[in-house]
Amino acid sequence: MASEQTPLLRDTEEQAALNHDKIYDRFSPSRKSVIVAVTAVAATFPLFASGSFIPLIPQIAQDLNSTGEVVSLAVSLSILANAIGSLTWAAYSGFYGRKGVILWSMATMAVGSFGAGAARTISELLVWRIVQAFGASSGLSVGTGVLADIYRLEERGTSSGIFFGAILFGMSIAPAIGGVTAHYYSWRTTQYGLCVAGILSFLLTLCFQPETAWPGARGVDKLIEKEGRSRWVWLNPFGSIALLRSPNVSLLSISQGLVVLTDYALLVPIAYTIAAKYHITNEAVIGALCIPVGVGNIVGSTYIGRLSDAIVVAMREKRGGVWVPEDRLRATAFGGLVLAPLSVVASGAVTQYADDGMWMMLLNFFCLFLNGFGVAAVFQPGNAYLVDILHSRSAEVTAANMACRNLVVAATVGFILPSINNFGIFATFTGSAVCAWIGYGLVVLVLHYGGRMRDWVDLGFSTSASN
């Protein structure tokens, strides 16, 4: 009996593998590049909207008769709205598909941006910033789902590195663009520009983005098969939060929130720290101060993405073809342990204690670059790892990751300016570095005990065959 079934079983497995490969071959390499480019445009907006806002804080505070501390609450609220929005869009992208969700989110962002530009009070600004952030939040979670739809396991680190590199390029120039616009026009012009950008992304997605969700895998496909028609279904956007019950997901998400605090410690108060140190008051120049972090993000994301793929392939070959998802996290070591925390400590020391000469300013910029590189080196492999272990729920696990990470940031970023005022720049920056070291410690736990943790809470984790 066994001798008769074994060839059939082998044929069935080979056919399944062949069908699996065909899913990734639906689009040509050039078409995939277009898909990544269009998706990256939409994914740029959460970071662009927040990055362009940072140099505007002093001008907005003056225009709306408020203070920098109060206006910086818009950053915290937008981070919170971004977390909720990413969960919502991810849930619906799994049910209705990626393209339609991106279209709706870009439309929402455009409306929110117009409202923020027209705000006449600080309360109106906060409300419309929430709408703007909610709309912009689909890009990263749904965009990651798009990458998982079209790229194989061993290609995913490289493709996501390029994807995040493109996104972070937008982030790197966002403060400069926001600053230039605010200095020569108004902070409101920046918000209207985001409205136009949202409309442009809507049109690009409409014209050039195909539906990438796997054929027959969407919830609406199963609904049509069952009922013979499509209809609106209310989904629980917070259902993805249940994925955080896995320590693999929750520990990585918290770790990223703690590591990225070093970025926010540097950038949110930059008008009152580095800019004040070097007597810079021009909003355009203040915005340009953020560029080194973004460039570091770009270089780090692209390089570490390729490195994580190489590590996955090398370790799988070393184990005789056995895939261990946690191997990808080995690429985070230098960034999480050294670059991200030590760069912010060094920047704090230079900003508070060194003189304001040209060489010290250049050293500070180098610290900003290293911080961007270090944060990307923790983020990129971690994000790809979560997609690897939950491939069929890639958008949802990315959204859950973003929600947890953003809640950590939202709960703490509002204390950065008050902490600087009360304890000083060096102490505040050093505190964020300690948080980053704690965060990297959580990555180490997943790296060494991730296999056991996946056994503790089984979320239906992916295998090498389903990736």
Q: What digits encode the pLDDT tens for the residues 121-165? A: 888 988 999 999 899 888 888 888 898 888 887 777 777 777 877
In angstroms, the CA 369 to CA 320 distance is 39
Full 3-state SS string of 298-328? HHHHHHHHHHHHHHHHHHHHHCCCCCCHHHH
CA 439, 442, 444, 450 dihedral sign is negative
In whole angstroms, give the CA distance from residue 38 to residue 208.
7
Q: Could you say which DSSP state residue 216 is in?
A: T
DSSP 55: G
What CATH number belongs to 37-209+238-466?
Answer: 1.20.1250.20
- Asked if 303 and 379 touch (Cβ cutoff 8 Å), the reply is no
| Residue 366, token pair as written in the block | 């180098």
8 Å CB contact between 340 and 435: no
In this prediction, residue 52 carries a pLDDT of 73
What stretches in the chain show pLDDT beneath 70? Answer: 1-21, 46-47, 51, 54, 168-169, 171-172, 465-467
DSSP 151-171: S-HHHHHHHHHHHHHHHHHHH
Tokens matching residue 302: 């692209």
Looking at residue 19, its pLDDT comes to 57
Compute the C-alpha angle 326/329/332, nearest 5°: 170
Q: What is the dihedral of CA 321, 324, 328, 334, to 10 degrees?
A: -110
Q: Enumerate the H helices of 228-339 as residue ranges.
A: 247-267, 274-277, 283-288, 291-318, 333-334
Tokens 């689909």, located at residue: 138
User: Is the CB of residue 97 less than 8 Å from the CB of residue 46?
Assistant: no
Closest C-alpha among 153, 142, 217, 164 to residue 385:
153
204 CB contacts (<8 Å, ≥6 apart)?
A: 38, 41
Do 39 and 201 meet the contact criterion of CB atoms below 8 Å apart? no
C-alpha distances in Å from residue 108, one per residue of 6, 36, 78, 366: 55, 22, 14, 37
* pLDDT value for 368: 94
Return the structure tokens found at 282. 């021009």
Residues 467, 463: Cα–Cα separation, whole Å:
6
Tell me how many degrees the CA angle 188-189-191 measures, rounded to the nearest 5. Answer: 65
195-200 own/partner pairs: CB under 8 Å, 24+ apart:
195/110, 195/111, 195/113, 195/114, 195/117, 196/110, 197/45, 197/48, 197/113, 198/45, 198/106, 198/107, 198/109, 198/110, 198/113, 198/135, 198/136, 199/106, 199/110, 200/41
Amino acid at position 432, single letter:
S
- Cα separation of the two ends of the chain: 32
What does DSSP assign to residue 27? S
The number of angstroms, rounded, from the C-alpha of 129 to the middle of its chain's C-alpha atoms is 18
DSSP labels, 382-445: HHHHHHHHTGGGHHHHHHHHHHHHHHHHHHHHTTHHHHHHHH-HHHHHHHHHHHHHHHHHHHHH
